[in-house]
Amino acid sequence: MPQHGFKCNTNVSQGNPGLSSYAFCIRDDRGDHIYAQAKNIGIAANMEAETVAVQEAIQYCLAHSLQHVQIETDSLALKNILQDAWKIPWQLIERVEQMPHIMRQLNMQIMHTFREGNQLADFLANTATQVESC
């Protein structure tokens, strides 16, 4: 985690395609949680849900002037897309094309983490899906 920065974990719960939710949680450089959000997004495929999760996290950071943010996702594909290592799938162009610019503006990095590193975001996303389906 960057010193004097933030760490943001994102995750989704989905049926691929199916009822989907996203979640993200943000911690400060001491590891203290400062914000978490989870929301149902309806029917979506996996990559769409992963993209929404990171997009919402970026928008939150932008709205609250959070800089030096390390975003961790368990979606290696989305990480590679946002680092310009892979082309943006046409279905995601509208959502993704502005994200790298905002990330550079806020000095954000995106990193891959294994699912175990996203336990809180995973729990929140699964809870949001369960609440919606009840």
Predicted confidence band of residue 87 (pLDDT cuts 50, 70, 90): very high
Q: Report yes or no: 26 and 38 within 8 Å, Cβ to Cβ.
A: no
pLDDT score of 55: 97
pLDDT score of 115: 80
Query: What does the alpha-carbon distance between residue 31 and residue 5 come to, in Å, rounded to a whole number?
Result: 10
pLDDT score of 133: 57
Q: What domains can you pick out in the chain, each with its CATH number? A: 6-133 (3.30.420.10)
Contacts of 96 (CB under 8 A, 6+ apart): 51, 55, 81, 82, 88
| pLDDT at residue 117 is higher than 70 | yes
Torsion of CA 54, 82, 112, 56, to 10 degrees: 0
| pLDDT at residue 3 is higher than 70 | no
Tens of pLDDT, residues 7-63: 999 999 977 788 999 999 999 999 999 999 999 999 999 999 999 999 999 999 999
